Structure 1
Amino acid sequence: MDNEFLATIKLDNSNEFHGENIYQPQGFSSKKYPFMFLGGASTLCLNGSLNDIDMKGKIVLYDHGINERIKKGEIVKQADGAGIVLINAPKDGYSIIADHHALPALHIPYAFRPKIKAYINSSTSSQRPPSSSKAPLPMCPTLRIATLIKKVHPDWSPTTIKSTIMMTTYVKDNTNKPISNERNLPTDLIAVGANHVMPLNVLDPELIYDISPMDYYPYYAAFVYNVSDVRFIIHQKINCSSIKSIPEGELNYLSTIARLSANKARAVTFTRTVANIGEVAETYYAKLGVPEWFLHM
């Protein structure tokens, strides 16, 4: 599920750059403000870096790093600054986060840095302060969907709800392209996880993978080495030596992973039990569907 809190800056040369921010200004002004990049020791906006610098009514470009993003905005506000544009380091690429800043702010990808820096260096620049699109305060998208499912199906267990969310995902982003990483490149299987949530389908998954608390005991017996740790997890006494342990891949969980050699073929078998929660009895057949773009990673 893609969830964005868009914010935009518009420069004098009519270029617009989009990022994210939750700050919702009241009585927002459309006037222009000086736009600056301090450089040197002030490039990261650390405590004390704005001492003896006239920041009143100015918007400043800062690099991401060292101190917290929200802290940078607080430092600029304390110096009477008008706004802040926070730009990623190369390693962070396109990973931007919507924060609740203390003043108009914008978190943007590293890819925008060359154009913005060139604009600032080319002239005495000014811009309109970053403006935010209206949006409610954020809630974790998965938690929001889980709450919706529980409202409709109050008798479903947490594992049933989790299975429902994972069973109804899709493997591409909202532009119908492969899911990308923070550098806008196709990501790998581990980073993709269960893919993108499809909220419209979570209420009718048809099949689920359910796990009861007792189903975890054989798993704990195999992978938690200290009996006291197991007892702490399940909140009751248990004798692990009396429980037949199971391999990691045999927990009735929706996803698993197998380590395979590139030079040696071997068969890997996992057993799963699914439940049909539809209104009528149906027959299902297992089919392996691997996206073509996964095969070339």
Structure 2
Amino acid sequence: MPPPPAKWRGRCDFNGKRTCNNKLVGARNFIWDGDAPVEAIPHGSHTASEAAGSPVEAANVFGQANGTAMGIAPKAHLAMYKVGIESSALAAMDAAIEEGVDVLSISMSYSNGSVPFFDDVFALGAFRAIQKGIFVSCSAGNGGPSPNTVTNAAPWILTVGASTIDREIRATVELGNNVELYGQSLFQPEGFHSKQLPLVDPASNGESAAFCEKGSLKNIDVKGKIVICQASFPEWRIFQGQEVKDNGGAGMILINGVEDGDTIIPDAHVLPASCLGYKDGLLVKGYLNSTSSPTAAISFQGTLIGKSKIAPQVASFSSRGPSLLSPGILKPDIIGPGVNILAAWTKSVGPTDFSIDEATNPFNVISGTSMSCPHLSGVAALIKSAHPDWSPAAIKSAILTTAYTADLNGNPISTEQNVSATVFDRGSGHVHTLRALNPGLVYDIEPDDYIPYLCGLGYSEQQVRYIVQRKVNCSTPTLIPGAQLNYPTFSMVLGAGDQMTYTRTVTNVGRPFSTYISKVLSPQGVAVKVMPSVIRFKDLNDKASYTVTFTRLENVTRSSIIGQGSLVWNSIGDDGYKVVSTIAVVFV
């Protein structure tokens, strides 16, 4: 299969209409067979094993990332359902609901985040699921880093973004001026002797050559040289290397575009290669222009763990909020491991990924919010096992209020541009499995509680009925704004002089005779008042309500159009519960 045309170089995803553009998000691993999509690579096998795969020793790809592979909930029973067009996806969800699953993990989307919930098959199917007590997690989509690209944003779904991990499969580029740049490559040839070779950038021959597209290097002298190629659509990067190899190139340096930043994906290349982040790519270009005889060498260091202290970092492709459909609900909800994840595979690895052949490899390393979603599905399964009586909303609350927001260096989680991630990049933060099992307090929501929320979105009674599958009354007294839903986070739009008051109810799942004191980190330009500031519980499962008033301050200079903060309920005593609700504000 040849590389894609230039217009497909961005985030090119299946969206149910056989079209492709760089803002639509979906199951990008599909090809078309007649009128139905079929899986071109073992996406389902990979995601299923991440959620509930049994331990497998010596799992690796080409000897890299070697170790014991295991899903998040390895003792869980696993059922897989084949889907294609939208109607088949809804049928598969109905079958899963009828068969009594506890968790639904959905690593795909048919929309670009602008389809109303009553028209979204996953929102519809997920609501039926939560009515039966089934937890649903979905990938946030691969439309990042652009804002407003988050998909699967219904509040009854856990919407999962992707983060990096602290494992590298390192391929170092050493420039002729002795500058070393750390890239990655899954293919690391044994016995390869690194040496300085001429370095060439074919970009002066046009955009096609800059991306090393098929046939573009035919009339360019790359023989025996290391060739610079602008990184293309992830699944096509190995074909860029094939073009270099076919024309006699000795190696390749892939350079991320500005949108991909420092999110580096190691590929199973066909020749010695290294993928570098955007900033390192600028150093390569700068060196290239500084000398008449540029050279470079590529050396391989294999798998390194713990070297990247900036992990976790929000992946460049991870879709961002705010949600276009419901700005009163913070989306994405959470981030989890989704970059360079090793999991089960049933085909060959490398350029033959898109061919029908008998060669197989038991594991592969790939990236996407498709990978982060099953990590959270596995976490939900563990919580459900520990607390079988908890509702889907309570499980989600436990995950969100216990998330962490600092990387391994103790600095705020950053994005692929190495700037602090906003709440619309990371949601509540990165999942912390152990804390989520014992959160102290939870924010619970019954399925019928979503009805006044849906009416408040302006949906007609017929549209709401289509979602909840029964008659509803959307009279004015029953309407609530999205931010009034008993959600574990706060998200709102504040204009000049606006003041918003919302009520929340928490349930004690920690210990009896407990007391919690509130602590607020107010968003810049907003005053936050909590009443009462202390809540007490006598027994487990007792409930307590409080109100929060948000007032926009006009005499405070804001540094951006968004504000972010948190409301924390800290327990008094040795248990040390810390229940965090993230606050997101959009200023208008």
Q: Is TM-score (shorter-chain normalized) higher than 0.5?
A: yes
Shift of 1:177: 2.2
Could you tell me which runs of 5 or more consecutive residues in structure 1 were left unpaired when the two chains were aligned.
none
Q: Does 1:36 find its partner at 2:210?
A: no
Shift of 1:124: 4.6
Larger RCO, structures 1/2 (Cα 8 Å, 6+ apart): 1
State the alpha-carbon separation in 1 of the partners of residues 192 and 218 from structure 2. 27
Deviation digits for residues 113-159 of structure 1 (CA, Å, limit 9, x no counterpart): 34312444533513125655267335734531441341353224443
State the alpha-carbon separation in 2 of the partners of residues 200 and 28 from structure 1. 43
Deviation digits for residues 145-177 of structure 1 (CA, Å, limit 9, x no counterpart): 441341353224443332222111233333222
State the alpha-carbon separation in 2 of the partners of residues 186 and 220 from structure 1. 33
Deviation digits for residues 29-63 of structure 1 (CA, Å, limit 9, x no counterpart): 24337343222221122232122446566432222
More helix by share: 1
> Which residue identity does 1:3 align to in structure 2?
I
Q: 1:107 aligns with which of 275, 293, 315?
A: 275
Q: Does 1:280 find its partner at 2:512?
A: yes
Matches of residues 172-251 of structure 1 in structure 2 within 5 Å? 172-234=406-468, 236-241=469-474, 244-251=478-485
Matches of residues 15-34 of structure 1 in structure 2 within 5 Å? 15-21=179-185, 23-25=186-188, 27=190, 29-32=192-195, 34=197
Q: 2:395 aligns with which of 146, 161, 164?
A: 161
With the length of structure 2 as denominator, give the TM-score of the two structures.
Answer: 0.43
Q: 2:228 aligns with which of 48, 58, 61?
A: 61
Provide closer, same or farther for how the CA distance between residues 271 and 84 of structure 1 changes in structure 2, counting only shifts above 3 A: farther
Shift of 1:271: 0.9
Provide closer, same or farther for how the CA distance between residues 88 and 26 of structure 1 changes in structure 2, counting only shifts above 3 A: closer
SS at match of 2:213: coil
Deviation digits for residues 220-274 of structure 1 (CA, Å, limit 9, x no counterpart): 122152444334433x232344692222211111112233345x3x532111111
State the alpha-carbon separation in 2 of the partners of residues 151 and 192 from structure 1. 22
Shift of 1:99: 5.1
Contact 1:44 1:62 in 2 (8 A): yes
Provide closer, same or farther for how the CA distance between residues 71 and 141 of structure 1 changes in structure 2, counting only shifts above 3 A: closer
Provide closer, same or farther for how the CA distance between residues 78 and 214 of structure 1 changes in structure 2, counting only shifts above 3 A: same
Shift of 1:218: 1.5
Contact 2:203 2:210 in 1 (8 A): yes
Could you tell me which runs of 5 or more consecutive residues in structure 2 were left unpaired when the two chains were aligned.
1-162, 305-340, 343-364, 527-557, 561-588
Contact 2:244 2:251 in 1 (8 A): no
Provide closer, same or farther for how the CA distance between residues 96 and 37 of structure 1 changes in structure 2, counting only shifts above 3 A: same
Q: Does 1:143 find its partner at 2:339?
A: no
Contact 1:5 1:20 in 2 (8 A): no
What RMSD over aligned residues (CA atoms) do the two structures have, in Å? 3.4
Provide closer, same or farther for how the CA distance between residues 288 and 8 of structure 1 changes in structure 2, counting only shifts above 3 A: same
Equivalent pairs, count: 289
271-280 or 6-15, which deviates more: 6-15
Provide closer, same or farther for how the CA distance between residues 99 and 10 of structure 1 changes in structure 2, counting only shifts above 3 A: closer
SS at match of 1:184: coil
More strand by share: 2
SS at match of 1:161: helix
Residue equivalent to 1:125: 295
Provide closer, same or farther for how the CA distance between residues 59 and 4 of structure 1 changes in structure 2, counting only shifts above 3 A: farther
State the alpha-carbon separation in 2 of the partners of residues 88 and 78 from structure 1. 18
Contact 1:74 1:101 in 2 (8 A): no
Contact 2:405 2:412 in 1 (8 A): yes
Residue equivalent to 1:73: 238
> Which residue identity does 2:254 align to in structure 1?
L
State the alpha-carbon separation in 2 of the partners of residues 31 and 102 from structure 1. 17
Residue identity over aligned pairs, in percent, reads 29
Shift of 1:201: 2.1
Q: 1:271 aligns with which of 495, 503, 518?
A: 503
Provide closer, same or farther for how the CA distance between residues 166 and 106 of structure 1 changes in structure 2, counting only shifts above 3 A: farther
